[in-house]
């Protein structure tokens, strides 16, 4: 068994190093390439990923890796480092300081430690199973706002929204009419971190995680319901403890969400 305290310290040091690299790229300008019609990637994504992967391979050579950009490593291990080297790339490319780097350790399918770091605001979210969730050392608690009409929500939209009829536009309109407000910040990891910190009251998004991640939520001690159509009036949408999540996807999930959702759960429980 890996020493989890050491793993958490390693994760913190690693995302801070990657964050420093991202800050330099952010201030000096970025080169953008497109993976799709509106889905872009920058040289900073690759540089941050290379830094993180090199550090993991040096410190934990026997661990597997699942990275947002390069995918899964070939080796098999009960220990898996989950990496998102730059979440919020569109914001980053446009000079908007809402982006993050995230690193988490999964052991036998269960998240044990993880961190999310916004390098511009120097905000570090950390969590270790059974020991709570923290922002810069202060304990996190989710919002206690009890009703949708008093809630400030956050969401995102799929990259294929121009061609996919299930593009969250209708649900965005529905929630906008029922909630106090709805934001679109552009970084799902920071969206969920803000929910964990009680800054925002709920989050939903389509096509972003698979059904097997509900087991992770159960391991963290809380349940997230899923809605068949994302309607705010449908009983399947969870509310009252700080998070809404809808639409199961059978595609590979965005890596950072395993930790981000875990962070919200720990913030609720502590």
Quote the number of domains for the chain: 2
Q: Which of 115, 139, 163 is the last residue of a domain?
A: 139
> Looking at residue 75, what is its pLDDT?
76
CATH number of the domain where residue 193 is located: 3.40.190
Q: Is 256 exposed, middle or buried (0-12, 13-18, 19+ CB in 10 A)?
A: buried
Domain containing residue 78: 4-139
**pLDDT at 48 (0 to 100):** 95
Give the model's pLDDT for residue 156: 78
Average pLDDT per run of 10 along the chain, which is 270 residues long? 94 98 90 62 89 97 85 80 91 94 89 92 92 89 81 76 64 84 89 86 62 27 35 32 37 45 56
Q: 153 and 125, same structural domain?
A: no
Looking at the fold, whether 196 and 247 belong to one and the same domain comes out as yes
Strand, helix or coil at 245?
A: coil
Stated pTM of the model: 0.78
**Nearest residue to 237 (alpha-carbon basis) of 125, 169, 116, 153:** 153
d(CA 238, CA 226): 8
pLDDT of amino acid 218: 28
Are 135 and 152 in a shared domain?
no
Q: What is the pLDDT of residue 164?
A: 61
- Same domain, residue pair 40 and 164: no
CATH number at residue 10: 3.30.540.10
Asked if residue 191 and residue 91 are part of one domain, the reply reads: no
Q: Are residues 128 and 176 in the same domain?
A: no
Q: Are residues 74 and 134 in the same domain?
A: yes
Contacts of 256 (CB under 8 A, 6+ apart): 68, 82, 84, 87, 100, 102, 104, 116, 188, 189
Residues 177 and 77 in one domain: no
pLDDT at 224: 38
Report the C-alpha gap between 248 and 228 in whole angstroms.
8
pLDDT for the residue 219: 28
Do 199 and 233 sit in the same domain of this protein?
Answer: yes
User: Which of 85, 110, 139 is at the close of a domain?
Assistant: 139
Pair (114, 201) in one structural domain: no
Co-location of 131 and 209 in the same domain: no
Q: Which of 119, 139, 159 is the last residue of a domain?
A: 139
DSSP 115-160: EEEETTTTEEEEEETTS-EEETTEEP------SGGG-EEEE---TT
98 and 199 both lie in a single domain: no
């Amino acid at each position: 068994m890996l020493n989890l305290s050491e793993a958490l310290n390693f994760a913190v040091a690693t995302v801070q190093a990657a964050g420093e690299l991202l800050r330099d790229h952010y201030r000096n300008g970025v080169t953008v390439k497109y993976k799709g019609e509106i889905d872009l990637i920058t040289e900073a994504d690759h540089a941050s990923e290379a830094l993180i992967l090199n550090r993991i391979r040096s410190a934990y050579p026997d661990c597997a890796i699942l990275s947002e950009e390069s995918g899964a490593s070939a080796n098999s291990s009960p220990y898996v480092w989950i990496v998102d080297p730059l979440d919020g790339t569109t914001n980053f490319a446009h000079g908007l300081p809402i982006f993050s780097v995230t690193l988490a350790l999964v052991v036998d399918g269960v998240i044990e430690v993880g961190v999310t770091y916004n390098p511009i605001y120097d905000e570090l979210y950390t969590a270790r199973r059974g020991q709570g969730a923290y922002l810069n050392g202060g304990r996190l608690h989710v919002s206690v706002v009890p009703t949708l009409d008093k809630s400030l929500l956050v969401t995102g939209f799929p990259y294929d929204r121009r061609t996919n009829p299930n593009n969250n536009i209708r649900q965005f309109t529905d929630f906008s009419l029922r909630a106090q407000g709805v934001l679109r910040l552009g970084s799902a990891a920071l969206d969920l971190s803000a929910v964990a910190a009680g800054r925002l009251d709920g989050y939903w998004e389509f096509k972003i995680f698979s059904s097997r991640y509900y087991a992770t939520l159960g391991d963290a001690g809380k349940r997230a319901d899923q809605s068949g159509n994302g309607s705010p009036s449908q009983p399947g949408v969870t509310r009252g403890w700080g998070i809404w999540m809808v639409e199961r996807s059978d595609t590979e999930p965005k890596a950072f969400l395993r930790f981000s959702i875990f962070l919200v759960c720990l913030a609720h429980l502590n």
